[in-house]
Amino acid sequence: MSAGRVSNDDQEEHDQKSNQSSTLTDSSSSSYTSSHQERDGLRMIEFFSGIGGMRYGVERALEIIQQQRQQQQSPSAQFFLNSCIAYEISLQANATYAHNFSHDTEKGKNKAFYVKTKLVEQLKPKDLDNQADLWTMSPPCQPFTTTRNAKQNGSQDKRTNGFKALMNLLRSIQHKPMWILLENVKGFVGSSSLQEWYECLHECGYTWREYLLNPIQSAGIPNNRTRYYMICERSDRWKSKTTDMAMGQGQIFTTLQKDETHEFINNNDSAGNQNHSQEHDKYEVKPLCNFVRDVTKEELPTYLVPDDVLSRPWAKQLPVVTAQDKATYCFTAAYGRIYHKATGSFLLIDPPDRPACADVPIERCDDMSQLYSGKIRRFTPDELLAIFGFPSSFSFPFDISLEKCYKLIGNSVNIFVVTQVATELLMNIK
């Protein structure tokens, strides 16, 4: 990975109005079927697609379902993505998405690959009608974020316009998706936007189930990142739960109802585990050393926290962990430019065999550079990608700057958790 030029924000805003696309192959069936005579695979549309975390999660979920059916000696339909259309306004996110997925068309796995820099508000019903069996979305979270300095304007924030447009589109199209998977921050719960979404889903014939999931509890991944997930199906599958929720009496679950993904996650080479409540003691606990990678002497200065930062009085509050720790703060889009616990944890690398800070707290003083000069660094993008569940083959284009890499990762989803949620959603697929 090499650092490139940081794009000017104003220029980026202007550039994001331009379109990037590739050829889309039309699909002919309006609902999922395992009949090879009609169409193989699942059609998916990713809204607010970022760098493709939702797609990775869905692909893994389909692999799990395939394995389960084979173990159960069920009819062996082939569960894979037939097409995936991605919509996102960030040029850097789309370049990264295409960089990692465009090879699928060459392999013949996906008969349609399409990533486009386009506002959801610009989409027409014809763009979505009869185009997908599954919609996934992670709408902009800033209107609902509860972190420091967040404005929390909710549905009055202009960044909710895309989500509002999507509701109108869902109402207007004739052939709607069978399934929908939505992710957002915890602050989305109780918002007027969520209430509007309930009403839209109810009008369109969906029932749903909701979760507040943390990678630590739900997947054994050492990162505190509680997120809201909603899975929807156009059926009566969760009718009683939906009715309760519409009446303000429903339950948002904090654990998944199925454990089919547990073995898959524990066997994944990039998986690690974390401290968790007694309710989740079935998960094997692994420390951060399962995610930390070797950093060369040449690379190290890029990631070290500089002395002029460590020497400031507020630096003694920085969240520091070792490779033996089993918890980190939530890594956000600002991790590459702001030193604060609200952006994520920092790694103490000297001595390398030091016990976990959770067990043996580090010494702190008003000038931390006196104790830790050259000893504390940021987690690298590759390490964060592993914590977020991205495959080891994932990479960024060479012209994406280091700060932008951190931003794109911080805006992404945890694939381990998405895999679990998507498996729950699609487990009855035929």
Please give the positions annotated as active site: 141
Residue 59: strand, helix, or coil: helix
The Cβ of residue 174 has, within 10 Å, a number of other Cβ atoms equal to 8
Lookup: tokens for 224: 């505190």
Q: Which of 88, 86, 90 is nearest to 110 (CA)?
A: 86
Contact (CB, 8 A) for 83 and 59: no
Lookup: tokens for 399: 């012209």
Rg (CA), the chain: 22
Dist. CA 52–CA 46, nearest whole Å: 8
Helices 161-172 and 192-203 pack at an angle, to 10 degrees, of 10
Lookup: tokens for 68: 């389960």
Dist. CA 117–CA 202, nearest whole Å: 30
Contact (CB, 8 A) for 129 and 174: yes
Contact (CB, 8 A) for 94 and 86: yes
Please report, as a single letter, which amino acid is at residue 141.
C
In 18-92, which ranges are E strands? Answer: 42-47, 81-88
User: With the CA atoms of 99, 84, 193 and 247 taken in that order, what torsion angle do they form, in degrees rounded to the nearest 10?
Assistant: -140
Phi-psi region of 174 (alpha: psi -120 to 50; beta: other; left: phi over 0): alpha
Contact (CB, 8 A) for 245 and 199: no
Phi-psi region of 208 (alpha: psi -120 to 50; beta: other; left: phi over 0): beta
Cβ contacts of residue 421 below 8 Å, gap of 6+? 57, 181, 211, 213, 229, 231, 256
Q: Which of 167, 154, 57, 176 is nearest to 120 (CA)?
A: 167
